[in-house]
Every structure is written in structure tokens, then in C-alpha cells.
Chain A
Amino acid sequence: MSQETPLTRDIPDQGEPLDLAGYEQAGGYGALRKAVDEMGPEAVIQAVKDSKLRGRGGAGFPTGMKWGFMPRGDDAPERKYLIANADEMEPGTFKDRLLMEGNPHQFVESLVISAYAMGTQTAYIFLRDAYRLCRRRLQRAIDEARAAGYVGENVLGSGFDVEIHIHASAGRYICGEETALINALEGRRATPRDKPPFPQQAGLWGWPTIVNNVETLCNVPHIVARGPEWFRNLSHTENGGTKLYGVSGRVNRPGCWELPMGATLRELVDEHAGGMREGYRFRGCLPGGGSTPFLTGEHLDLGLDFDAVEEAGSRLGTGSVVVLDDRTSLMGFLRNLELFYARESCGWCTPCRDGLPWVARLLGALEAGEGRAQDIDVLEMHTRFLGPGRTFCAHAPGAMGPLQSALKHFPDDFRAGVRESELAEVS
């Protein structure tokens, strides 16, 4: 059976993406037409619910349920906002860039349909500053779509108005956290907000706001065009759809591929990424970006979806696999990750601001073979003190994922970093 790849089918191997005419020729904006002519907002939301689409930004929250929290009808507040989270910065993740650069109109269509479903008249694309080619291509697509009547006033004669603005940020990983993103869009420091209220109740400038990841949104036109059942059947598992999986590290052909949800790690690493580079062996991997706990060789045949990876003690995250090989220092690998999280902490709460640099320094000492006997215990303590429920947002708990799983799966690597004179004291 040939596998369908709706998200990437129209992305050229290289060169310019489809322009408006090319996109329309490939069936583009047909889903929008169907949504406004035949379905109406409620049916679009129901289709997304029935599709079992789950958020592709990392948390995997059911998209239809999230949409359902947005107030609708006559009693709804006069303004509502849709924000596309295009602040892709999770270490090892390079999928949303592919979607935005490779088929900008698909993304624009997804925004218009989603805005229509939720009755939001303004959609923001919160784009990281370094994605400059994305910005140029998206702006061109928005302008073309506006000229053709897909964006702006009275979209396709439906009476529905929508404007799309690109907000190019100025760098900071924490902007990907949805409440921090809202603060950033309001022009403030990107510190997270307390929840509740959730953004769907009181988000951007206090109005109901929905924040969705780029890949999540790009699924919407296909769900609308082909139906939720078709979408569910794309997947090998109960989580609907395809997934953009990536592999990076010392493999032969690093890359990003759209596969049925539930593809195995072995399939990704051996088949699509062409196996490990000569002289390197697979030791483990972060299955979904820098803040997901390690999987190891015993998980190679695990079908990667949200539920299965969680059962195995990690998270599907962004589906972007970072491979740890046998010749890379695990202490260095972890030190690099934790230094990233230390640098990117917004500094709002103490465990994160003070704990992460400490963790990074201890890992640096272990990497250099200069660790002290008590360092391993101190690291273990941090995985608890910076864990879920101890900090204001998920930044520090995410940072602890790789560390606590490495302590579990690879304890000897930590011991090997302790000074020889103190090894006897390691508990």
C-alpha cells in the first residue's frame, strides 16, 4: 500500500515552493471553499475533534478539544485571536521550517480555515527571527492569498473577515511556551503566565486566544478536505494522521520525513536515515527534541506515537529524534543540553534560574573527569527539585527529562566522570 503524505506531498525537493496558481492547481484552497460553502464553523471543529489530531508542538494535547474551549456563539467576546506558534527552537527539531518554507500556502490556508472555525478575525504567526526565508515566503503567500480573496474581508463571499500578521520575534526559546508567547506578542518579556486562566479564556490582551503549532495547523485543510476517518486511517495507531519525524546526529542521511503516526525508531534510524555512520553505534536517542527523556536500544521497535512513547517513559515531543552514538561523551551531550536550558531560562522562578546553571556546571566537571563524589547525588536531587510541579512552567521539568533518564539508563557514565581519588565514596 502506498503511503499518503498530505503535508509534504506538494513540497518540492528544492527550489521555490508552489505559488498561488500552482497551489490552487494542486487542489489548494479547496478545503477553505468546502469549509465556508458546505460545512460551517461547527462542522469544521467537529471534524478536527473526530480526526483525533493531537498537537504537534510537543505536548500532544487533542486539538479539537482545545478548540472546543474557545467561546463561540452570540455570547462570545467580541474579539478572539488565533496564534500559530512558529517559534521552532526545540533542540534537534526542524520540521515546521520545512512546512513553512516548502508550502507556505498550505499553512496560510490552515490559518484561514482555523480562524473561520473559531470565529477569530486576526491570526498572528509568531515566527522566530532566525527563520528569515520562512518570513519572506509566508509574506508573499499571504499577499497572494489576500489578492485572491482568501484572506481579508468577506473571505470567498462568506461574510467572514480575517487578517494574518507575521510577528517576527527576537530570539528566546521560552517564547515557544504558549503563555510566554502571548506576553512576547504583547511586547513584554517572555515570562510564562499563571494558569488558569487558560489562553482560551483570557489570552492575548485578555481576549480568548488559541495557540497551535505549525504542523498541527497544516493538518487542518486535509482533515476538512478528506474527512476525519481518512485522517485517522493515515496512522498506524489510535493517534490520528501522519507525523513529520526527523533524525539527526551521526547517521548516514539525517532528515525529516512524513510517515504514518506510529513509525518505529528502527524504521526511522535504519531505513530512512540510512543507519549509523561507519564506526559509530546507536546507544540511545531523545525521541522528540532536547527536552524528551532518552530511549535506548530496547525501544527500537517501539511505534512512536504519543501514548506508546509515554508508556516507555519518554515523550513523543516534536518527533525529532536526536541520536546518541557510542563515541560521543554522554556527559558532554547532557552538558550541552543543560547549558542550553540554563541560557534560555527566563529567570522568573528560582529553581529554574539557579538550578539549571548548577546542573550544567556539574555535568561539565563530570565530562572533564573532575567530578566530585557527591555530584551524582546532587544531580539526582535536581531532577526532583526541578521536576514537574516545582517550577512555574514546563521549561525546567523538560530540561530534567534527558538527565533523569540518563541517570537511569547509563549510570556508569556518571561514575566514570568522578575523580579517581573519590570514586570509592560514590554511593
Chain B
Amino acid sequence: MLSDEERQEIEAELPHYEDAGALSVDALKIVQRHRGWVDDDGLADCAEILDLSVHELEGVATFYNLIFRKPVGRHVMLLCDSISCWVCGYDALCGRLQERLGVPLGGTTGDDRFTLLPMNCLGNCDHAPTLMIDDDLYDDVTPEQVDDLLKEYA
């Protein structure tokens, strides 16, 4: 069951579009904001109120990179791996992050604190390498800064 809050937030978006199906990504993101990820029940409930089949909505959910169909950690780290960041030291930064977190790209730490995800160009190429943790964008990140950076997120 969608919570009242989830349902209200989804319905508030409805007038912005010509049909309910257009809300698919918004609805999935609303569920994800409340639950951390999109579980099967959440997906099925969204499909019902948007008048889509579950499979149609699943096709949408799995197409977009930032809809999570598996649980993620409390903090999601998006590590830019596009060209400018790669040229400017992505490999070393990625190596340090994987080592400190003890997970490969795509992994979630055992304490559910972080999920580490590769991300396409974050549009911060003048401050490469760059990464985002939740809503925070970090500039010119070096492997040496990783430990202090991780401490910011409980």
C-alpha cells in the first residue's frame, strides 16, 4: 500500500501532465524518496494508480539509472567516471573508495551506510575528479581526502 503521503505527493504532480502515465518516473521517485528504493509492492501500487501494467512500469523503472530496484545504503555516492574525471585521476579515487568502503562499484556496505555507484558526466569537469554524495557535489577530490569525506556521513 502506498502511504497517504506518497499518494498525495503523486497526485499533486498529476495536473502538470496530460495523462497519468507521464507520472511514472515522478511516482517511482516519490516512492524511492520515502522508502530508499522501489520495492515490488511500491511498483505495483504505482502502476495501479497510474493505470499502467506492472510490466510497463517495470520497463520504465529499470531503464533509468537512478531508480533503485534494490535497497541502497543511507547515503548514495555517485562517482563520475566520464572522460575528464578519468583523465584527471578517477582510477586512483575509485580504487581508494572501493578499498575504504570494502565494496565494488554497485555495492552497498555491510552497515548499509553507503552505496557506491558509477555515474555519467556530472557536469563538473572543471573540478575533476568529482563525486556526489546524496545532494552534495564535491570538487577536485583526491584519494587522500576520502577518509575525511566519509566521516561527514553517518
- Any B CB within 8 A of the CB of A83: no
- Any A CB within 8 A of the CB of B101: no
CB atoms of A130 and B125 under 8 A apart: no
Q: Interface size (A, Cβ < 8 Å)? A: 56
Given A90-B121, A97-B123, A254-B127: A248 touches B78 (CB 8 Å cut-off): no
The residue on B at minimum CB distance from A96 is B123
CB atoms of B22 and A250 under 8 A apart: no
- Any A CB within 8 A of the CB of B8: no
Binds B, one of A24-32, A180-188, A218-226, A405-413: A180-188
Contacts of A173 in B (CB 8 A): 120
- Any B CB within 8 A of the CB of A192: no
The winner among A171, A172, A328, A346 for most chain B CB atoms within 10 A is A171
Given A187-B24, A340-B82: A320 touches B65 (CB 8 Å cut-off): no
The residue on B at minimum CB distance from A90 is B121
Given A172-B64, A328-B87: A256 touches B123 (CB 8 Å cut-off): no
A319 to chain B minimum Cβ distance, whole angstroms, is: 13
Contacts of A131 in B (CB 8 A): 123
Task: Map CB proximity to A onto B53-87 as digits: 1 under 8 Å, 0 otherwise.
Answer: 00000011001111100000000001001111011
- Any A CB within 8 A of the CB of B107: no
The winner among B19, B25, B123 for most chain A CB atoms within 10 A is B123
A342 to chain B minimum Cβ distance, whole angstroms, is: 12
B93 to chain A minimum Cβ distance, whole angstroms, is: 14
CB atoms of A187 and B125 under 8 A apart: no
Task: Map CB proximity to B onto A80-115 as digits: 1 under 8 Å, 0 otherwise.
Answer: 000000001111111011000000000000000000
- Any B CB within 8 A of the CB of A369: no
- Any A CB within 8 A of the CB of B103: no
Given A89-B120, A93-B125, A246-B126: A337 touches B83 (CB 8 Å cut-off): yes
Contacts of B125 in A (CB 8 A): 92-94, 246, 248, 254, 320, 322
Interface residues on B, range: 35 or more
- Any A CB within 8 A of the CB of B151: no
CB atoms of B123 and A172 under 8 A apart: no
Contacts of A333 in B (CB 8 A): 83, 86-87
Given A169-B25, A170-B65, A187-B21: A92 touches B84 (CB 8 Å cut-off): yes
CB atoms of A89 and B87 under 8 A apart: no
Task: Map CB proximity to B onto A177-197 as digits: 1 under 8 Å, 0 otherwise.
Answer: 000000011111110000000
* Alpha-carbon distance between A233 and B65 when the two chains are bound, in angstroms: 43
The residue on B at minimum CB distance from A324 is B87
CB atoms of A343 and B120 under 8 A apart: yes
Pick from B22, B126, B127: contact of A185, CB below 8 A: B22
- Any B CB within 8 A of the CB of A59: no
* Alpha-carbon distance between A36 and B29 when the two chains are bound, in angstroms: 38
Given A187-B25, A188-B60: A89 touches B123 (CB 8 Å cut-off): yes
Contacts of A323 in B (CB 8 A): 87
CB atoms of A205 and B60 under 8 A apart: no
The residue on A at minimum CB distance from B64 is A170
Task: Map CB proximity to A onto B104-140 as digits: 1 under 8 Å, 0 otherwise.
Answer: 0000000000000001111111111000100101000
* Alpha-carbon distance between A313 and B61 when the two chains are bound, in angstroms: 39
Residues of B within 8 A of A (CB): 16-19, 21-26, 28-29, 50, 59-60, 63-67, 78, 81-84, 86-88, 119-128, 132, 135, 137
Q: List 22 A-B contacts (CB under 8 A).
A: A89-B121, A93-B125, A94-B126, A97-B124, A131-B123, A165-B16, A167-B26, A170-B64, A171-B66, A172-B65, A186-B21, A187-B21, A188-B60, A189-B59, A248-B128, A249-B84, A249-B88, A254-B84, A254-B125, A256-B126, A323-B87, A344-B120
Chain A to chain B: the 10 pairs with minimum beta-carbon distance, closest first: A171-B65, A170-B64, A187-B24, A248-B125, A254-B126, A248-B84, A187-B22, A171-B66, A91-B82, A94-B123
Residues of A within 8 A of B (CB): 88-94, 96-97, 128-133, 165, 167-173, 184-190, 204-205, 246-250, 254-256, 286, 290, 320, 322-325, 328, 332-333, 336-337, 340, 343-344, 346
